[in-house]
Structure 1
Amino acid sequence: MCGIFFSICNRNDQPSICRRNEIYQDISKSLARRGPDDHQVIETDCGDVGLYFGGWVLHMQGEQICPQPAQSKDGNILLWNGEIFDGLDVSPGQSDTTALLSSLDKCDDEGILQLLSCIEGPWSFVYYRRTNSKVYFGRDYFGRRSLVWNWDQNTLTLASVCSRNASWEEVVGCGIFCINLKDSQSGFKKSTVLHPWRCITNRKPKVCEEFQTGRILNTAMHTKYKYEADNYPLVDLPHISSSVEPLTNLAKSCSERNLWPLCREFIAKLKRSVMKRTSAHTSIGDKCNIGVLFSGGIDCTVLALLADIFVPEDEAIDLLNVAFEQQRKLTKTKQGNVLLNDNIYEVPDRITGRSSYQELKDLCPKRIWHFVEINVTLEELRGKRVERISMLSCPKSTVLDDSIACAIWFASRGEGLLNGEQKYRSDSRVLLCGMGADEQLAGYSRHRGIYDRNNDWGAVSDEINMEVERIAARNLGRDDRIISDHSKEARFPYLDEEVVQFLCSLPVHIKADLRLERGIGEKILLRGAAYDLGLHGAAVAPKRAIQFGSRIAKAENRKEKGGDSCERLKNNFASQISL
């Protein structure tokens, strides 16, 4: 993984060059936090166009660091912030960057697009092909790696994070962009062609009116098979008494609908996904450090249990559980005595986290599990929001962005307590994250609301499809910027190409049965899988969004809606600019 900085402008345009240097100086410290192990710069030109490449490396594999940017003997240059899990042969011990640059150099224009379309894994990149004077850049289908851009007159700057002295937007995660530098006299933007991804949900390809549209690209997720919906009809629910335990209800519902074979197929695909993200590309010497962003909910607990299969038995796995300081409350006993509730970090995610931690210990007694209690005071929350988080969240700026960014930043930092008293800081460079499960398996309350209002499975399916297609724009770039600020890499097993293609092929009522009660119906396929794995507590744990489970939404006692513009982020970002 690395931090990317790239800029093109007219090499005789001194104001643009000064502007580029100003942005570079402002952004370099944040990029160095993403990639602390190596850094270099390459500056070159193509006619009157000056190109500036800066790369920062987080060393994740092999004995030798592969510098970024990488340059071939033909003068082609690659900035690669990603992992190749499939779609391109990478020899043992070989750097992804080296393998990709070598393969790209052998391709023609069409071959470059085809090769990038086949790669499975998270990535963002910039590739300059000197032989045809073209620059290619973009993000993977889900936008799992951050890339932002600034168009300033006749200058383009691309970076992994935003600076404080320019206006930034997320690079649209809808395809691969190509700029022909020989045809840029009228401006780089006008000479940019977008080759859009074909939507995996059969929606219309996402295009951008600002750019010319090139050929539509398939991805590794465009499968040749589909499950026939007729093979999985929507059956009537069995009559279950309200007194039946949720776990019994879940098992009966899966049995009545014959979900167990699909649950096990789902487990098999998740296992392969977790294996790729824990066994490969994580080792430095003989050491492999894995952590999990861990609320105790079903998504992350399943990932932790599957990670146990592939992480060497003598290594610990860190379970990072965050809670925000709550107001102390006075309560009266039956005897009329007033007690002060001093347990200010006993939030819902701490409670479910401990419960699921115990389940993992029972199922995997040989594993050392580090349950890290990360307690965040209001003072530290406000200080770090100003110092780091507001800039990393940018260009995202809603109340929801603020809550999620703060929670993930402190969780991924990994500073907390073991056993409630021993200070501990996680050194795990790879963090498994459960993002993507709710979007694909109807895990949010809005999915249930849509079904309750319309009694329409088609409307729920449309909502899921929309959320899958917009996930690149909605949150994953933000999450990558936040987690990478600690020199750590986020990995998203639920967004593995094979997992997504499997889930996209299933009828919506197989993935979620919203006729069933909360904690069972949503994500029923995953709940059945968890039950089959022995996670009987996590299998019926209700969904709580991180902002509510960690109680950051109540920590500052503000009455706000998630979609509102967050003045804290804007004001803090503005105050950073004036420093």
Structure 2
Amino acid sequence: MCGIHVVVAGMSHGHALFDTFLAQKRAQADETASNIEEQDITTTSRNGLALARRGPDGMGTVKLASCGCLAVTFQNSVLQLRGKEKIRVPLHREDTKNIIAFNGEIFGSVGGEAPAESDTIWLLTRLDAANGDAAVITNVFSSLRGPWCIVYWHNTTRHLWFAKDVLGRRSLLIGFSSAHEGLFSIASVAPRKAQQSGEEWIDCPPGIYSIDYSSLSFERKQSIESRVNWKHHAWSDELSSTLFFLRRKTSARSGNYEDKFDRCRKQSVQEHTLHVLWRLLDRSVRCRVTQCNIPSRLQQCRHEEFGDAFVGVLFSGGLDSTLLSALIHRNLCIEESVDLYSVCFDNGNSPDRRAARSAVAELQRVCRGRAWRLIEIDVSKSELNLHRDHIETLIYPGGSDMDFSIGAALWFAARGVGRITSAGPQKCFKTTIYQSRSRIIFSGMGADELCGGYSRHRTIFKSFGEEALEESLRADILNLWRRNLGRDDRILSDHGRETRYPYLDEEFICQILRSPLRDIVDLSLSPGVGDKKCLRRLAKHLGLSFTAQQRKRAIQFGSRVCVHERDDEMIHASPL
């Protein structure tokens, strides 16, 4: 996981503007504009940087002057989760002057090939082998499996490529400056002063894009925008195309078995669907647990009393997070503990906190031998207000009350600072302040959108039927990048942790689309039974009978962060 910031502009102001951007974010930075320059930023100077918070293991800058009229500047930070040796970022070739900034994880590719060491080195090798051929570069991007976004400069053709995985699981913002003609920026997080200065930043949609600067010449009078060629490239492989259009392979009515003679076939189809989903979800969790090779020099010192977990879970005590925890238990070495983040804004008395305690008790009973560490993270109103400006910066370009409520709950949860309770001698219990050092956070994002977990899905089903429900589910997944994923990546990565979404695995989603809708969700059944039907059956299969009955609670209500927000609104609205 990394932080990215890339600027392309005319030589007259390109590097100078980028240096101004750095000065806004870092005091006492010494940047010089040479043809190609790379440097590491010290820990001291990185503390205030949004990019460095995302990537605490190193940061560097590469500057390139192309053909005397174009300034290209890449800045990249890194959270290293693979490879035995430290890599210097942004990665670039001295001979070709090609540059890449990468954020994410590659869990595989078409043909089954996957990086054994650094994702970035593996990817740059394949992109450079394309020699600038657009079709080959598009094929490389389309073949990748996992959450990722990439910015790639091919110097010979003077093409800037930028791409985001087909589901949009990582943040990539595009900025346009109204004050400086032709300034084009791409970043993981937009700088605060840029947000306030009137610059326009948008969340880049999932896809593959390129900008052709080969015809650029500042001797002409036209604007830069009129002299560059923007292009959107279609996904070239079948799986990515399926996820891009997200059409169900079976009709909504294919799960109806009205004929009593079809009952045996119904049972057989449902059992087959459950078995395939179980296998794919288990495999999704396994690859996200096992594909982590942190260099020994970066291994955190073991906590004197509790030991450090390298895996954590955003834990509400609901169906999605508890089921993921049980699957992590199946695939993680039994000696490893797991941190469970439970956030509460109501003095430890929120619905999610009560559910989390009950769910941990069930995990301890079903998944024996594992050290489950429930971190109870309690946030006061004053602490929420103290970090309000920073959270608002991270959720940008989102800015609604809901964006802030969800963003705040996730930010404090991912910070991982709270209390843990452990058993002492003579059945006494003691509470200790604890700081999680896990580098990987698992999230249940996508389960509700895929499997009909929201109350609005039931309303749509009752009012308009199954076909309308199917279209609603499709719209929810297609809009995840815009509503949730970009914002959540900026929020959660701010603590130097990488978020992984097993429910948003490509193969798992495709199997959901191939399955009869009523095998996935059956809203003719009561709440807590028919919503997310397939996941509830999987939870029962694992012995999680309490978890299988849990009903959906949105994080802003389950954590009670909305209570603080409502109080603030009442104060601001008061005539007193």
State TM-score, norm by structure 2.
0.83
Matches within 5 A, 1:362-373: 362-373=365-376
Quick one: distance in 2 between partners of 1:307 and 1:95? 24
User: Does the aligned pair in 1 maintain the 2:85–2:295 contact within 8 Å?
Assistant: no
Quick one: distance in 2 between partners of 1:380 and 1:546? 18
Structure-2 change in CA distance of 1:556 and 1:227 (3 Å): closer
User: Does the aligned pair in 2 maintain the 1:301–1:356 contact within 8 Å?
Assistant: yes
Secondary structure class of the residue paired with 1:435: coil
**Counterpart residue identity of residue 483, structure 1:** L
Structure-2 change in CA distance of 1:118 and 1:187 (3 Å): farther
Quick one: distance in 1 between partners of 2:526 and 2:564? 29
Per-residue deviation at 1:195? 2.3
Structure-2 change in CA distance of 1:537 and 1:187 (3 Å): farther
Q: Does 1:511 align with 2:531?
A: no
Per-residue deviation at 1:507? 3.1
Name the residue aligned to 2:507: 498
Per-residue deviation at 1:130? 1.2
Name the residue aligned to 1:564: none
Per-residue deviation at 1:172? 2.6
User: Does the aligned pair in 1 maintain the 2:213–2:229 contact within 8 Å?
Assistant: no
Per-residue deviation at 1:281? 2.6
Secondary structure class of the residue paired with 1:485: helix
Per-residue deviation at 1:258? 5.7
Name the residue aligned to 2:255: 233
Q: 1:434 aligns with which of 444, 454, 477?
A: 444
Quick one: distance in 2 between partners of 1:260 and 1:188? 59
Q: 1:267 aligns with which of 263, 278, 297?
A: 278
User: Does the aligned pair in 2 maintain the 1:196–1:217 contact within 8 Å?
Assistant: no
Q: 2:435 aligns with which of 419, 425, 445?
A: 425
Name the residue aligned to 1:540: 549
Q: Bigger CA drift: 417-426 or 299-308?
A: 417-426
Q: Does 1:460 align with 2:462?
A: no
Q: Does 1:38 align with 2:61?
A: no
Name the residue aligned to 2:361: 358
Matches within 5 A, 1:98-247: 98-107=121-130, 108-152=133-177, 153-166=181-194, 167-184=199-216, 186-187=222-223, 189-190=225-226, 191-195=228-232, 197=234, 219-220=239-240, 222=242, 228-229=250-251, 232-235=254-257
Name the residue aligned to 2:36: none
The number of aligned residues is: 510
Quick one: distance in 2 between partners of 1:219 and 1:558? 47
Q: CA RMSD in A?
A: 2.8
Instruction: Give the gaps of 5 or more residues in structure 1.
Output: 199-215, 239-251, 326-343, 562-566, 569-579
Structure-2 change in CA distance of 1:136 and 1:461 (3 Å): same
Quick one: distance in 2 between partners of 1:237 and 1:373? 51
User: Does the aligned pair in 2 maintain the 1:141–1:197 contact within 8 Å?
Assistant: no
Deviation per residue, 1:119-148 (Å, 9 max, x gap): 001111110111211110021112111111
Quick one: distance in 1 between partners of 2:510 and 2:201? 29
Name the residue aligned to 1:202: none
**Counterpart residue identity of residue 71, structure 1:** H
Deviation per residue, 1:471-507 (Å, 9 max, x gap): 1111101101101110000111111111111112223
Structure-2 change in CA distance of 1:141 and 1:188 (3 Å): farther
Instruction: Give the gaps of 5 or more residues in structure 2.
Output: 27-48, 301-308, 422-429
Q: Does 1:11 align with 2:11?
A: yes
User: Does the aligned pair in 1 maintain the 2:83–2:293 contact within 8 Å?
Assistant: no
User: Does the aligned pair in 1 maintain the 2:105–2:146 contact within 8 Å?
Assistant: yes
Quick one: distance in 2 between partners of 1:157 and 1:447? 38
Quick one: distance in 2 between partners of 1:226 and 1:400? 30
**Counterpart residue identity of residue 412, structure 1:** A
Structure-2 change in CA distance of 1:188 and 1:461 (3 Å): farther
Structure-2 change in CA distance of 1:371 and 1:221 (3 Å): farther
Q: 1:308 aligns with which of 308, 323, 329?
A: 329
**Counterpart residue identity of residue 66, structure 2:** C
User: Does the aligned pair in 2 maintain the 1:371–1:418 contact within 8 Å?
Assistant: yes
User: Does the aligned pair in 1 maintain the 2:107–2:114 contact within 8 Å?
Assistant: no
Quick one: distance in 2 between partners of 1:434 and 1:170? 26
Quick one: distance in 1 between partners of 2:135 and 2:216? 21
Q: Bigger CA drift: 523-532 or 223-232?
A: 223-232
**Counterpart residue identity of residue 371, structure 1:** L
Per-residue deviation at 1:26? 2.8
Secondary structure class of the residue paired with 1:142: coil
Quick one: distance in 2 between partners of 1:452 and 1:300? 28
Deviation per residue, 1:349-387 (Å, 9 max, x gap): 01111111111111112000001100001110111112x
Name the residue aligned to 1:208: none
**Counterpart residue identity of residue 122, structure 2:** A
Structure-2 change in CA distance of 1:437 and 1:176 (3 Å): same
User: Does the aligned pair in 1 maintain the 2:247–2:474 contact within 8 Å?
Assistant: no
Quick one: distance in 1 between partners of 2:401 and 2:224? 34
Q: Bigger CA drift: 83-92 or 473-482?
A: 83-92
Quick one: distance in 1 between partners of 2:259 and 2:557? 31
Quick one: distance in 2 between partners of 1:381 and 1:559? 11
Per-residue deviation at 1:217? 6.8
Per-residue deviation at 1:221? 6.3
Quick one: distance in 2 between partners of 1:187 and 1:305? 57
Q: 1:481 aligns with which of 490, 496, 515?
A: 490
Quick one: distance in 2 between partners of 1:135 and 1:265? 40
Quick one: distance in 2 between partners of 1:366 and 1:448? 39
Quick one: distance in 2 between partners of 1:165 and 1:559? 25
Per-residue deviation at 1:257? 8.5
Identity, in percent, stands at: 33
Q: 1:319 aligns with which of 340, 350, 355?
A: 340
Secondary structure class of the residue paired with 1:62: coil
Deviation per residue, 1:46-69 (Å, 9 max, x gap): 221110011111111222122211
Name the residue aligned to 1:340: none
Deviation per residue, 1:501-543 (Å, 9 max, x gap): 1112223222111111111111111111111111111111000
